[in-house]
Amino acid sequence: MLPSWINDLREMLMRNGSRVPITTPHSYLMPATAQHALTQTRDQLRLLAQLTDPHGEGDPDVVYLSAQALAHCFDRLADDLDRIAEAVSPSGL
């Protein structure tokens, strides 16, 4: 997903009849807080993978997590990723 400012720029140029191709930046700046949040998100995904890994001889598809706990984990991950995406900016600006 492209940053909203790129879509806004495209819309503005299309309204003005411009045919200038718009390229996306090749590098981005990530603040230290966003880097920390991204690392935590990675760790949470690894924890979810470990929690859903079968550990017994029984049914390998049985996972002992409540739907509410799983929903909370995914909701938190989505919020973290939203904040990270908002914090990242193209390095050329």
Strands 28-29 and 89-90: antiparallel
pLDDT digits (tens, 9 = 90+) for 10-48: 666 666 565 555 566 678 888 999 999 999 999 989 888
Q: What are the DSSP E strand ranges found in the chain?
A: 28-29, 89-90
CA–CA dist 73, 62 (Å, integer): 18
CA–CA dist 74, 69 (Å, integer): 9
CA–CA dist 2, 76 (Å, integer): 22
Tell me, what's the pLDDT at 67?
Answer: 81
Can you give the pTM of this predicted structure?
0.57
